[in-house]
Structure 1
Amino acid sequence: MKGRILDFSIQTNTGIITGEDHKRYNFVGNEWKETQAPVRGYEVDFEINAEGQATGVYLEIAANPTPATMNKPAQSNSSYTSPTTHESSHKTTGVFSKWEQGEDNYQQAIFTCFKKFADFKGRARRREFWYFELFCVLLSLLLSFMNEDLATLAMLITLIPNIAVNVRRLHDINRSGWWMLIALVPIVGVLLLLFWAAQEGNPSANQYGESPKA
């Protein structure tokens, strides 16, 4: 079956594919049969096992070199590109692509959290939570060097969206937002919340809504 990669997590070594039948199929990293890492948006071919999971995942055959291409006569030395140069160029392009994708995700997470300024419903994936927390920490550090009053003002402005994204992150792992109150327990409470925030969310819908990865 043909499909497209919706998401892939390096941390859990799992991903999701949407098939041409418009259904979603989970797959694990060892079912990816290509040398480069799977990236969201890749067009792929795959099989489906008895458990409804994708297996034997390859890049779409149409994207691979055809025999006619491979059998073309060698070009003159003036236009020859060595395999090493081509591989290096491919890796460089991949690095920039991942960097741009990470930058887009970072900006999108900040935009989403401010857009859902006081939204305590729904779910937030790990990427949204951690990117916004990083933004808040960096902003606080930067402003603290400039002016303490500005740093305090920034903390007050980001307080509500910060609490909201924490609640939505708890919802993503099927926990009530009231667990936020455990932060009142010195040290242990905060560490427990951070541990939960690092957990993979439920892949399917739960009582708090659809998966944010959908």
Structure 2
Amino acid sequence: MKGTVLTFNAQLDEGSISGEDGKRYSFFGSEWKEQLAPARDLQVDFVVNDLGQATAIYLVSFSQQTAREKLSSKVQTNSPLDEEENYGFFDWAMKCLRNYVNFSGRARRKEYWYFYLFQILVGFIEPYRVFRRDFY
């Protein structure tokens, strides 16, 4: 049967496929027979077992090139972590200040410690500035 990959969670090693018959079929990563990781919107061919799960899952041969293009474009667009690899000290401190009132999600460890270091440095600079103003 042919279908489209809807979801795949690498941590749980499971996902779901929408079959051409309109039904959803769950699958395990061990049933994926391709070298590319399963990703959303890939066209696949699979077999349904007695439990109603997808097994022996292969990419549809005529769309492998399209699948690779989709996969590479997703890798390029999902790059906030790649973008953060080029951050410097000041970038991390400003990121924390920009997200100061954003109460969704969590800060990365790196973001927390760079901001903490930023606070310590500001704490040392401020008394020095006040001291210079009073005596000079």
Q: TM (normalized to structure 1)?
A: 0.37
Partner residue in 2 for 1:102: 78
Aligned-residue CA RMSD (Å):
3.6
Query: Per residue, is there more strand in 1 or in 2?
Result: 2
Alignment-mate amino acid for residue 27 of structure 1: F
Q: Which has the larger radius of gyration?
A: 2
- Does 2:20 correspond to 1:20? yes
Structure 2 unaligned segments of length 5 or more: list them.
107-136
Partner residue in 2 for 1:36: 36
Closer, same or farther in 2 for the Cα pair 1:4/1:94, shift >3 Å? closer
Question: Which residue, out of 97, 100, 108, partners 1:155?
Answer: 100
Query: Per residue, is there more helix in 1 or in 2?
Result: 1
Q: TM (normalized to structure 2)?
A: 0.54
Structure 1 unaligned segments of length 5 or more: list them.
65-90, 107-130, 167-214
Closer, same or farther in 2 for the Cα pair 1:101/1:9, shift >3 Å? farther
Closer, same or farther in 2 for the Cα pair 1:143/1:11, shift >3 Å? closer
The offset of 1:24, in angstroms, is 1.0
Q: 1:144-178, CA deviations, whole angstroms, 9 ceiling, x for partnerless residues?
A: 459xxx92x7422x13xx2xx69xxxxxxxxxxxx
- Partners of 1:29 and 1:59 in 2: how far apart? 14
Alignment-mate amino acid for residue 34 of structure 2: E
Percentage of pairs with the same residue: 36
Number of residues paired by the alignment? 97
CA contact 1:2–1:45 (8 Å) conserved in 2? yes
Closer, same or farther in 2 for the Cα pair 1:43/1:145, shift >3 Å? closer
Closer, same or farther in 2 for the Cα pair 1:47/1:30, shift >3 Å? same
